[in-house]
């Protein structure tokens, strides 16, 4: 199994459930618990297949004088194994989370090389790593980046703590001389890790706060010192040499898990889509045609304005054309009423001459009752001697 295949499998498993999620991913608020499990392999930069992982070691004195130290005396290869984590934490509602974590990883020995015993066969045993960590994580909210809500929420984290490396009955026998190297020891050291993952809510299961997670973890410790012996079974299995091996312990894990945020409020109901408002009517367009004092005949400028109004009425397909006549207050109200009517009739007749159907025109006369510029009675005001053409 390769890293590429493991990541692909995690993605395939997570995608259908995420697609069925009924709510957008939200930052965790309050107390939560989490569990995860998946594959684990021990790091070897020179090899990338998952059939084995090489671990560099350096030796103790192995019977040599105390002031002599041998480095890089051997390598231990480990098969692809498994790991699991459990956590309890607190979400601050702004994307940040803090948690306590317990973890366990196990890999079986595949082969051992070096120590002057090559070739080494009949290998066996396990490397087990377990410990406790304090993690700080941050959940990304796509809405903060202008990308809208999403059912997927990526997160990153770092952690520090303490972990024990346990070599349980790690052994191998030299095919050349029958000597057996053996270690059955554990040592605790400072541990650290980096986390990259993505979560998607599973509210479609009817459980508010339940989230599916898929993540990658890099986990390492300072070099543990593990007591190791070299024995000769043919000579009563007496130790020929003994010392402590300083082993590298770097792990890569891909895990699927579940996170449950306790005491979460139910998700808000889906927003009600308001019906689209009716289209606002097109704004009316008004044209003003002015007249000389006590006159109802059209000036040249008045005919230009009426022509413009007629052309625009055909262009915007007006459904109604209102023509309203007005007069100033220089005459009696009765006379001004008749004068405003003659002015309105003159404008309507010119509109008809310009091609407007008479049935489309509504004619009214207001006399001096609606002045554009309020004046005292008897005042001649040019702006009040007008006809208003309104296209609707």
C-alpha R_g of the chain: 45
Domains and CATH numbers, the chain: 3-261 (2.40.160.20), 285-391 (3.30.1330.60)
Which residues lie closer than 8 Å to 53 by C-beta, 6 or more apart? 41, 42, 43, 44, 47, 77, 78, 79, 80, 107, 110
19-73 pLDDT, tens digit per residue, is 343 456 778 889 999 999 999 999 853 222 222 333 444 444 444 444 433 344 6
DSSP string, 76-116: EEE--EEEEEEEEEEEESSSEEEEEEEEEEEEEEEEEEETT
Output the pLDDT for position 272: 74
Helix (H, G, I), strand (E, B) or coil at 192: strand
295-337 pLDDT, tens digit per residue, is 988 888 999 999 998 888 888 777 788 999 999 998 899 999 9
190-222 pLDDT, tens digit per residue, is 999 999 999 999 877 878 889 999 999 999 999
Q: List b or e across 169-199, with b for residues whose CB sees 16 or more CB atoms inside 10 angstroms.
A: ebbbbbeeeebbbbbebbbebebebebebbb
Question: Measuring CA to CA, which residue among 217, 215, 264, 254 is closest to residue 23?
Answer: 264
Average pLDDT over residues 245-249: 86
What gap in Å lies between CA 216 and CA 88, rounded to an integer?
19
Higher pLDDT residue, 231 or 278? 231
164-188 pLDDT, tens digit per residue, is 999 999 999 988 888 888 999 999 9
Give the containing element (helix H, strand E) for 135.
strand 120-139
What gap in Å lies between CA 66 and CA 61, rounded to an integer?
6
Q: Give the pair of three-digit tokens for residue 318.
A: 């007006």
359 phi, psi to nearest 5 deg: -70, -15
Q: Is the predicted pLDDT of residue 135 greater than 70, yes or no?
A: yes
105-128 pLDDT, tens digit per residue, is 999 998 888 766 778 888 999 999
Question: Measuring CA to CA, which residue among 377, 357, 380 is closest to residue 369?
Answer: 377
Q: Which of 95-99, 139-143, 261-265, 271-275 has the lowest mean pLDDT?
A: 271-275
Average pLDDT over residues 138-150: 75
Which residues lie closer than 8 Å to 250 by C-beta, 6 or more apart? 42, 43, 218, 219, 220
């Amino acid at each position: 199994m390769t890293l590429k295949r493991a990541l692909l499998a995690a993605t395939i498993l997570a995608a259908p459930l995420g697609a069925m999620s009924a709510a957008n991913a939200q930052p965790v608020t309050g107390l939560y618990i989490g569990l995860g499990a998946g594959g684990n392999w021990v790091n070897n930069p020179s090899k990338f297949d998952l059939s084995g992982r090489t671990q560099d070691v350096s030796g103790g004195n192995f019977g040599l004088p105390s002031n002599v130290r041998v480095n890089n005396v051997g390598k231990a290869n480990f098969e692809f194994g498994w790991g699991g984590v459990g956590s309890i934490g607190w979400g601050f509602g702004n994307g940040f989370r803090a948690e306590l974590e317990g973890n366990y990883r196990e890999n079986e020995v595949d082969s051992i090389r070096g120590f002057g015993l090559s070739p080494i066969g009949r290998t066996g045993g396990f490397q087990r790593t377990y410990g406790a960590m304090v993690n700080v994580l941050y959940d990304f909210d796509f809405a903060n980046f202008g990308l809208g809500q999403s059912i997927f929420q990526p997160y990153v984290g770092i952690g520090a703590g303490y972990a024990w490396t346990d070599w349980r009955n790690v052994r191998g026998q030299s095919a050349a001389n029958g000597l057996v190297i053996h270690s059955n020891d554990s040592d605790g050291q400072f541990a650290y890790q980096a986390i990259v993952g993505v979560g998607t809510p599973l509210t479609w299961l009817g459980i508010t706060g339940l989230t599916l997670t898929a993540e990658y973890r890099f986990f390492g410790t300072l070099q543990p010192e593990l007591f190791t012996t070299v024995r000769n079974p043919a000579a009563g299995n007496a130790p020929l040499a003994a010392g402590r091996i300083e082993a590298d312990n770097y792990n890569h894990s891909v895990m699927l898990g579940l996170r449950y945020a306790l005491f979460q409020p139910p998700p808000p109901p889906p927003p009600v889509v308001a019906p689209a408002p009716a289209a606002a009517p097109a704004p009316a367009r008004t044209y003003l045609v002015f007249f000389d004092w006590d006159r109802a005949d059209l000036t040249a400028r008045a005919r230009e304005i009426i022509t413009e109004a007629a052309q625009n009425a055909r262009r915007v397909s007006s459904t109604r054309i209102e023509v309203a006549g007005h007069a100033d207050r220089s005459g009696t109200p009765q006379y001004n009423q008749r004068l405003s009517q003659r002015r309105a009739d003159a404008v309507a007749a010119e509109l008809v001459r310009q091609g407007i159907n008479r049935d489309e025109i509504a004619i009214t006369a207001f006399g001096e009752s609606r002045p554009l510029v309020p004046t005292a009675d008897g005042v001649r005001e040019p702006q009040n001697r007008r006809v208003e053409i309104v296209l609707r």
